[in-house]
Amino acid sequence: MLSKTNISLSIITPCFNEQENVSILANQLRTKALINYPNYEIIFINDGSTDGTLNELKKLNKENKKVKYISLARNFGHQNAIKAGLDHANGDAVIMMDADLQHPPEIIEQLIIEWQKGFDIVYTQRKDGQELGFIKKITAKYFYKFMNYFSDLNIEQNTADFRLLDRKVVNVAKKLKENDLFWRGLVFWFGFKKTKIDYKANQRIHGNTKYPLAKMISFAINGITSFSIKPLRFAIFLGMGISVLAAIYGLYALLLYLLTNEPIQGWTSILLSVLFIGGIQLLILGVIGEYLGKLFMQSKNRPNYIIDESTLSSNEHER
Q: Is residue 129 within 8 Å of 201, Cβ to Cβ?
A: yes
Per CB under 6 A, contacts with ligand UDP among 58-77 are: 75, 77
197: amino acid identity, one letter: I
Q: Is residue 100 within 8 Å of 205, Cβ to Cβ?
A: yes
Q: Applying CB under 6 A, does 120 fall inside the site for ligand UDP?
A: no
Beta strands in the chain (DSSP E): 9-15, 40-46, 67-72, 93-96, 121-127, 163-166, 194-200, 307-310
Q: How many residues bind ligand UDP (CB under 6 A)?
A: 16
Helix-helix angle 78-88:167-175, to 10 degrees: 120
Q: Which is nearer to ligand UDP, 162 or 188 (CB)?
A: 162
Near ligand UDP by CB under 6 A: residue from 154, 209, 269, 298:
209
Q: Applying CB under 6 A, does 210 fall inside the site for ligand UDP?
A: yes
Report the distance separating Cα 118 and Cα 176, nearest Å.
24
Query: Which of ligand UDP, Mg ion, none binds 116 (CB below 5-8 Å, type-dependent)?
Result: none
φ/ψ (deg, to 5) at 130: -75, -20
Q: Applying CB under 6 A, does 114 fall inside the site for ligand UDP?
A: no
Q: Rounded to the nearest whole angstrom, what is the least distance from the CB of residue 102 to Mg ion in the complex?
A: 4
Q: Applying CB under 6 A, does 14 fall inside the site for ligand UDP?
A: yes
Query: Which of Mg ion, ligand UDP, none binds 153 (CB below 5-8 Å, type-dependent)?
Result: none
Q: Is residue 159 within 8 Å of 123, Cβ to Cβ?
A: yes
Q: Applying CB under 6 A, does 81 fall inside the site for ligand UDP?
A: yes
Q: Is residue 105 within 8 Å of 31, Cβ to Cβ?
A: no
Q: Which is nearer to ligand UDP, 7 or 147 (CB)?
A: 147
DSSP summary character for residue 313: -
Q: Applying CB under 6 A, does 47 fall inside the site for ligand UDP?
A: yes
Which residue stretch of 188-196, 208-216, 234-242, 292-300 sits at the interface with ligand UDP (rule: CB under 6 A)? 208-216
Residues lying near Mg ion in the complex (CB under 5 A) are found at 98, 100, 102
